[in-house]
Structure 1
Amino acid sequence: MTRTAVIVGGGIGGLAAAIGLHRTGWEVTVLERVGALRPVGAGLVLQANGLRCLDALGVGTRVRSDGYEDVTGGTRLPDGRWLARISAGELEQALGTPAIGIHRAALHQILLDALPLGALVTGAEVVRVTEDGEVTQREPGTGREHTVNADLVVGADGIRSAVRGALWPEAAAPSYVGVTAWRGVTPVRTRDPVVGITWDRGAEFGIVPLADQRVYWFAALNTAPGEPRGDEKARVLTRFGRWHDPIPELIEATTDVLRDDLACLDTPLPTYVKGRVALLGDAAHAMVPNLGQGGNQALEDAVVLAAVAHRRDGLQAYDRLRRPRSQRVAKASRAVGHLGQQLSNPVAVAARNALVRVTPPRLALRSMARFADWHPPSLD
């Protein structure tokens, strides 16, 4: 008898879980709240662990062809001076695979193309979920409600997860971390920029080349809660427009500047599983982006869940395998954020910069790369 899985949320983690479960024999349905999927978001960096997960899902080759392999980069100061540099290929030598910069919309489309026909249902507002696998959705337009009973329900519906809210009412709400982030993608780059991070007191700017001659960039700034929105591009230019080249050029060349007031699940969940329901990705362990592991951890969740879900103790095994690691990565991301972008005391900033200068780049690389040194289980 075919087992059925309903995945709530059609983002990267939800689609990856659907693909993995389908590959292991499940009949899958993905319920996505938005009525029509559009290319959205900016870029992300797929590290070795995420790329290996995509290989396990059968889409790694296409991801690599649509992505841009890591190049020489490092950490700089706003005037352009280098604190540390890492040559191209060192990450690949350390882990056996390079990091890949890719537009989030491109990765999303690759995953959509790998779904079984008819698996995605858009405009599906989930209004009720129970531990025994009942999922009630409200049909768009008519308002009628429709309930199905699944062998497995996956809450992959993001940091403000309706599934988590329904079944984990005791869980703490997401916490604002005191940082606003802006993201953008340039239409076309005129030269190859150097990938890397630039640090200032309470601010940072990152540059990631993409495969289609565009550049993904992000900026982050310590901010008080509740600051009003406005002309976000102008605000980024005001704060970062005098930093080293090509930062002003990248901001000027960007049409749409996205803003996010960063939040995370600071209080770890005691379990990712209740009854037939499992949480993954941001619904389970939303983290700050300072290690670049958010999307990669969601991919790990998806592959591990697909590998163990058929077992009698499948969801307990998933929780046992995923919760300690993902929460450890989330905690480390928070710590790196405090040391890097969020650090604002001038004495502490000077001490940090001096430490980075004298730390051998390979040692620093190993300390960061240990989070990406992970291998997924096989789905064959």
Structure 2
Amino acid sequence: MRTAIVVGAGIGGVTAAVALEQCGWQVTVLERAAELGEVGAGISVWPGAAAVLEELGVEGIAKAARLGEAAGMRRWDGRWIVEAAELGIELPVMLHRTQLHQLITDRLGPAVTIHTGTTVTGLTQDADGVTVTATGARLAGAGADGAGLGRVEPGAAGAGGVGSGSAEYRAELVVGADGIRSVVRGLLAPGYKGPRYSGYTAYRGIAELEVEDSGGETWGRGQRFGFAKMIDGRIYWYSAVNREPGGPDDDVRALFADWHEPIPALLAATPAVLRNDIYDLQTPLLPFVHGRVLLLGDAAHAMTPNMGRGACSAIEDAGALARVLRAGDDLSAYDAERRPATTKLVKRSRQIGVLGQLDSKLACTLRDAVLAAGGKAAGLLAKRKRVEQSRV
């Protein structure tokens, strides 16, 4: 059986592990965190990613998710800029990140072993494969039901120890799925500039409140707020505020106190708020394949969250990897498919963020007018298309 190492057990990493196992590979997953899981709030699963998960046999997405509702875009005072109900746009399903991660890990079989508390420190390639050096080496589990659970205590020589607290892992293929500040990417290309700050900070949470409003986004001056219903009736919300990186925490309730309802009510009903300064990766992106090491997800193409496509792109990366491996051994085909597609998303998402975070009164007025006109035109085109299709 062929062997692979996946570095990182987030959504992209565990999806890659499922894909590799289904291609007949023995997979070792190395996760830096002490426990397996996913941090965050809500997530949009777009049709392309949903199709990959279905192909991989991941079940329960429909039961755990709610179909998004196209509610459009408003001004801070509640006036509509674009009403999206008539646009006929493709919609994602909404669910909690931890639910999606669990549904994927439930699909892992006996050929996958996960080590938590394990930090990668080096890798070397030769003609036969790749050696990964790591510290920690705590065995979290193997297989979907945890069968074969064991532990390698910190400091023990596991998988071919090279000293106290360190280990070596050997495989034919390494997948770097270790996020925007990827250690694997840094080892492959130490001169790459890497993450760049977007100019704004995101606040996210889940409101313990049911509302009739179907959601959407609201754009103001230097601030945005969006929300969507989850299947259990709670509301996932997110916001973006122009800020310097690493600045003090703001009272998000005060920032949006005079915005239209139900925004203040949602914030008041939120028990915990997550804050993240938003970064993406410099373009042009690095090649996703370096010999027998490839990059996947945020390690390859971290993007701002303005399109809600980050995790979905990682899932689609895993689907592309599976197709390439089934077709043969030409990993360059993975790079040829995924790097152009994700480069476009990185650029487009950043452009949306620049537009959404404008803080000049005049610029925002012009922006809203252009978007309103564009929305009306798109609505008319969508209506014409539906009429034409009804005549067929």
TM norm structure 2: 0.85
Gapped regions of structure 1 (runs ≥ 5): 93-97, 368-380
Asked if 1:327 is matched to 2:343, the reply is yes
Q: CA deviation at 1:76?
A: 0.4
C-alpha contact (below 8 Å) 2:178/2:299 kept by paired residues: yes
SS of alignment partner, residue 12 of structure 2: helix
2:361 to 346, 350, 367: 346
Name the structure 2 match of 1:71. 69
- Match of residue 146 from structure 1: 167
Matches within 5 A, 1:196-275: 196-229=216-249, 232=250, 235-275=251-291
Contact 2:283–2:343 (CA<8 Å) still a contact in 1?
no
Asked if structure 1 preserves the Cα contact closer than 8 Å seen for 2:176 and 2:184, the reply is yes
Q: Decide whether the 8 Å contact of 1:178 with 1:225 is kept in 2.
A: yes
Distance 1:71 1:257 in 2: 24
Is 1:7–2:13 an aligned residue pair?
no
Aligned residue pairs: how many? Answer: 354
**Structure 1 pair 38–298 and aligned structure 2 pair: CA distance change class (3 A):** closer
Greater gyration radius: 2
Answer yes or no: is 1:183 the counterpart of 2:217. no
Alpha-carbon contact 2:253-2:267 (below 8 Å) kept: yes
**1:82-231 map, 5 Å:** 82-87=80-85, 90-92=88-90, 98-117=91-110, 119-132=113-126, 133-138=130-135, 139-140=137-138, 141-142=154-155, 143-187=164-208, 189-229=209-249
Q: Is the 8 A contact 2:289 2:335 kept in 1?
A: yes
Given the superposition, is the C-alpha separation of residues 45 and 298 from structure 1 closer, same or farther in structure 2, using an over 3 Å criterion? same
Q: 1:36 to 1:149 in 2, by over 3 A?
A: same
Q: Which runs of 4+ in 1 moved over 6 A?
A: 364-367
Q: Give the direction of change, closer, same or farther, for the CA distance of 1:58–1:312 in structure 2 (3 Å limit).
A: closer
Deviations 1:22-63 (A, max 9, x none): 11111112111111135531111111222122122222x511
Q: CA deviation at 1:363?
A: 2.4
CA contact (8 A) 1:203 1:219 kept: yes
**Whole-angstrom distance in 2 between the partners of 1:175 and 1:328:** 17
One-letter amino acid of the structure 2 residue matched with residue 121 of structure 1: H
Conserved? CA contact 1:130–1:167, under 8 Å: no
Tell me, yes or no, if the aligned pair for 1:171 and 1:269 is still in contact at 8 Å.
Answer: no
Structure 1 pair 271–366 and aligned structure 2 pair: CA distance change class (3 A):
farther
Distance 1:365 1:107 in 2: 36
Higher relative contact order (CA 8 A, sep 6+): 1
In structure 2, the gaps of 5 or more residues are 139-153, 156-163, 383-392
Deviation at 1:129, TM superposition (A): 1.6
- Alpha carbons 1:70, 1:89 under 8 Å: kept: no
- Corresponding residue for 1:372? none
**Alpha-carbon distance in 2 for matches of 1:62, 1:274:** 35
Quote the Cα distance in structure 2 between the aligned partners of 1:352 and 1:122: 47
Question: Which amino acid counterpart does residue 95 of structure 2 have in structure 1?
Answer: I
Shift of residue 305, structure 1, vs aligned partner: 0.9
| Fraction of identical pairs, as percent | 43
Amino acid at match of 1:123: G
TM-score, with length taken from structure 1: 0.88
Once residues 365 and 99 of structure 1 are traced to their aligned partners in structure 2, the CA distance between those partners, rounded to angstroms, is 23
2:72 partner amino acid? G
Q: CA RMSD in A?
A: 2.1
Distance 1:362 1:102, change over 3 A: farther
Is the 1:175–1:264 contact (alpha carbons within 8 Å) kept by the matching residues of 2? yes
**Counterparts of 1:115 and 1:17, CA distance in 2:** 10
In structure 1, the residue corresponding to 2:89 is in which secondary structure? helix
Aligned to 2:314: 298
Q: Structure 1's 25 and 201: CA in aligned 2 closer, same or farther, altered over 3 A?
A: same
Q: CA deviation at 1:359?
A: 1.9
Contact 2:87 2:379 in 1 (8 A): no
2:348 corresponds to which letter in structure 1?
A
Contact 2:83 2:375 (C-alpha < 8 Å) held by counterparts: no
- Per-residue CA deviations over 1:94-130 (Å, capped at 9, x if unaligned) read xxxx410111010011011111145222112212122
Aligned equivalents of 2:205, 2:85: Cα separation in 1: 25
